Structure 1
Amino acid sequence: MKLCFLTCAVMLALPGAGASAAPDAEWRGLLDVRAVDSDAGRSFLDSGLGKTRYDQNSPRLSIGQAVLRGDVDVLDSVSASLELSADQQHRGIVDVREAYLSWNPVPAGAWKTRVKAGFFFPPTSVELDYDSVGWVPKRTISSSAINSWIGEELRTNGIEWSARRLGRYSGAPYDVGVLAAVYTGNDPTGTLLSWRGWSISDRIAGRNDTVKLADLPVYRPPNGFLLRQWRDIHPFREIDGKLGYYVGANLNFGTRLELAALHYDNLADPQVVKDWQYGWRTRFDHLSAVWRPQGAWELSMQAMRGDTIMGRNGVGLDFQSWFVLASHPLGPGTAAVRYDRFSTSEHDLIPSDPNNEVGYGVALAYDWPLAERLSLMTEALLVRSDRPARSLVGEAPVQKERSLTVSLRWTF
């Protein structure tokens, strides 16, 4: 948290320091206005166990994303970045998505290194448009189940080191990279995945965000087994004072083929409780690939498998998910289709708290550029899931959720 506050202070102080002290920050933004028609039951944002952001009671017109990002060069090789977001479905409306310092020393040879310190996303998603702002997908409106979870429950609040060996310096047809990070503040990671399950949405949590869980009996007074757990989840709290870590590697053959792998472990103590939040020991392995064959096709894939535990195996489950996304230019725009599979499998000591689920999702999207900084995207989304815990709150265990969303995106 201190690193986040330091970066914010640097960003806010530099523009007023005078032109002789430092250049002004470069500000960019994204405004996403959308219309939605959905037949889904109660959304997880309304303390339900639905899988999508919008349900049949959601406003038909809303602001999907409002993002403002500032970047400034502090020194010749040091920069600061701050990203703010706003919408009516977040606590406090305006929040911090990222705030970090980045050191990019001039490479002395084939290796190029970077150090980031602050509050930022782990390098996982292959769905993003890295030339734009906001952690939003490029080809669809919703994110895959994997990246929906990462956007809600994972953030690096620490230091990440990465190095890349550029193949052009050695005559190799590929670039290879490695990375490692240590962080705090991800101890509740796994709470949403266990008691709410996977989601397929584009909701991205801010630094101070909260989510209210469904009113499940396991933490409901007076007879719940876990009465020290509140329904309000703060995903980026530090609970046990221990550092977590992740390590990864990537291999790129130009822009034709990109491969990456990551191992994540928050090393949380699952028996520590602080501020009505348990620590969850959560770890996973993650693989991704992007292939761009001839003919303007782009094929993306991500896969994740891991486990999480809370208490003395009071809640414990294995989780896995994967998706494949294909896109190709069609007419004036780009068409895309994504297929998701996701599941959780419990192995804990409270049979009255079922956390198993299995499901899939299909998204069909079309992105139509209207002008240089204006585009219109349409997405039809179907999510089918089977979660027995829904019967505990009066919902059908098996649900099919359908939505049609039209998004008008303006970048500036």
Structure 2
Amino acid sequence: MKYWVWILSLYSSVGFAAEQSFSGIIDVRASYTDGITSYVDGGLGKFRYNPDGQLSLAQAGVSYDIDWDNPLSAHVVANAYWDGVEDNIGITEAYFKYKGLPWNNGLRLSGKLGVMYPEISMENIATAWSSPYTLTYSGINSWLGEEVRHIGAQLSLDYLGKFHDSRHDFTLSAEFFQNNDTTGAMLAWHGWTNSSRQTLWQEKLPLSELPSLDGGSLSSQAKESDPFLELDDRIGYHVKTQWRMQGLGRLEVGYYDNDADTRVVKQGQYAWLTQFVHMGTKWRLPYNMEVIAQYMKGDTLMQSPYGMNIVDNGFYSAFILLSHRWQKHRLSARFEDFSVTDDDLTFDDDNSEEGQAMTLSYSYQFSKGWFMQAEYNRIDSERAARVEQGYAKDLVEQQWQLASRYYF
């Protein structure tokens, strides 16, 4: 992070006035998990934490922003974790942003360039990509945080309704990117999760000890997946359209395709062709209520260098979240449904799963920036691969958390 900040500060000092700012989050938690070994630790557990209780630094995130006296700005985020599973510190986002002035017809161009998330999440809108609603992200946003990030360039065109006395705004955006060729590997081999951990840019992710990966048909796969690797020099894309009604909410639809060449493998890292459509809506309701709903459906393919299908999975996840805020209180409830469909013929690698998840979360604001939050998570899932590790195919996992979160 110091390297990025030094470059941006130097740039601001050689001819451009700039406003610099820091913000952050410190999230300390006591948790108890009733489940199996966490996916973060190479298991098939659906939660971030291993079984039993622990005290952890769930997130220490710092965001550095610099805004020049022109349409350019920059954004760098670093996160640190001390959770007894994978303690680490590093960059999670770093990009330049351009936001032009609107033209007389209400159109405006904007763009981004750097390390970034695709603009999909409607939950993770707070500092350092945290969520103000729940401690644990939905399955969709947990997967985005784990392995759906890249180096890319985004261009957006906004139509601003206020120039025409309208409350309706529209946005069309296109994003082109690299460094995401292994996206889909973790979703295939451990399935959907409910997490609160973002993979750091330099991290690699451990794979579970499945028969296919441990001496079986996929033994040439590296024991860790590098989620932000470029293997085939091809460019993926993400397109999205959004309609907003000022003061009320929005609706958006997008399509993501990493355009990976599935016959490329280097040092045990395979390129996965991952494509999905996503839809989402977020609305303010009467009595200080909010509703968020997101849906994702797609597929991911891994092949041998000779073009034979090895892993061919369809996947789906959807959730609805209701949140009510009053005075210093917020109560949120989220309900999810998810599945992975195994469509290949690899006999020792069954990635199929289905399940439902529920989250109940309550937070209280003690003072500016300081929140106490309690949360209960429950996942009821069916995954055949767990049997190979001595666990039940159908398993209920539960988690209780109490957090002190400070935003600065």
- TM-score of the superposed pair, with normalisation by structure 2: 0.94
Match of 1:192, SS state, is helix
Displacement after TM superposition at 1:370 (Å)? 0.6
Q: Which aligned pairs between 1:185-204 and structure 2 lie closer than 5 A?
A: 185-204=179-198
8 A Cα contact 1:198 1:342, kept in partner: yes
Separation of aligned partners in 1, 2:363 and 2:45: 26
Cα RMSD for the two superposed structures: 2.0
Q: Please give the alpha-carbon distance, in whole angstroms, between the structure 1 residues aligned to 2:94 and 2:77.
A: 6
Alignment of 1:279-358 (within 5 A): 279-311=271-303, 312-330=308-326, 332-358=328-354
- State the Cα distance separating 1:148 from its structure 2 match: 0.4
- What residue number does 1:50 align with? 45
Q: CA deviation at 1:393?
A: 2.0
Secondary structure (helix, strand or coil) at the match of 2:387 reads helix
Query: Matched residue of 1:49: which SS?
Result: coil
Partner of 1:278: 270
**Residues of 2 paired with 1:330 and 1:384: CA distance?**
31
C-alpha distance 120-203 of structure 1, shift in aligned 2 (>3 A): same
SS at 1:202's partner residue? coil
| 1:113 corresponds to which of 105, 109, 112 | 109
The aligned counterpart of 1:10 is 7
Which one of 231, 240, 261 corresponds to residue 232 of structure 2? 240
Counterpart amino acid of 2:7?
A: V
Matches within 5 A, 1:75-90: 75-88=69-82
Amino acid at match of 2:10: A
Partner of 2:23: 28
**Distance in 2 between the 1:54 and 1:401 partners?**
11
Q: d(CA) in 1 for partners of 2:267 and 2:278?
A: 31
Q: Partners in 1 of 2:204 and 2:341 — Cα distance?
A: 25
Aligned pair partner of 1:249 in 241, 255, 273: 241
Q: Give me the whole-angstrom Cα distance separating, in 1, the residues matched to 2:74 and 2:4.
A: 6
Structure 1 residue 97, shift from structure 2 partner = 0.7
Q: Post-superposition shift, 1:247?
A: 0.3
Residue 72 of structure 1 is matched in structure 2 by: 66
Matched, 1:370 2:362: no
Check conservation: 1:11, 1:70, Cα contact below 8 A.
Answer: no
- Scaled by the length of structure 1, the TM-score of the pair is 0.93
The answer on 1:151 being equivalent to 2:145 is yes
Q: Which amino acid aligns with 2:49?
A: Y
CA gap of 1:394–1:159, structure 2 versus 1, over 3 A, is same
Give the gaps of 5 or more residues in structure 1.
none
- Measured after TM superposition, the shift of residue 330 of structure 1 is 4.9
Provide structure 2 residue ranges, at least 5 long, that are not aligned to the other structure.
none
Distance 1:12 1:399, change over 3 A: farther
Structure 1 stretches of at least 4 aligned residues deviating more than 4 Å after TM superposition: 4-9, 89-92
Query: In the alignment, what sits opposite 1:161?
Result: 155
Take 1:399 and 1:171, find their aligned partners in 2: how far apart are those partners? Answer: 54
Query: Does structure 1 conserve the Cα–Cα contact (< 8 Å) formed by 2:81 and 2:87?
Result: no
Counterparts of 1:250-265 in structure 2, within 5 Å, are: 250-265=242-257
Q: Which residue identity lines up with residue 64 of structure 2 in the other structure?
A: G
Q: CA deviation at 1:196?
A: 0.7
- On the 8 A contact 2:239/2:256 being kept in 1, the answer is yes
**3-state DSSP of counterpart to 1:140:** coil
One-letter amino acid of the counterpart of residue 353, structure 1: D
The answer to whether the 8 A contact 1:301-1:324 is kept is yes
Match in the other structure for 1:41: 36
Indicate the residue corresponding to 2:167 in structure 1.
173
Provide the secondary structure at the position in 1 that maps to 2:186. Answer: helix
**Counterpart of 2:129 in 1: which secondary structure?**
coil
Q: Which residue of 1 aligns with 2:260?
A: 268
The 8 Å contact of residues 77 and 92 in structure 2, kept in 1 or not, is answered as yes
The amino acid that maps onto 2:374 is T
Is contact 1:7-1:80 (8 Å) kept?
no
Question: In 1, are the aligned partners of 2:41 and 2:86 still within 8 Å (CA)?
Answer: no
TM-aligned CA deviation for residue 410 of structure 1: 0.7
Q: Which residue of 2 is the match for residue 183 of structure 1? A: 177
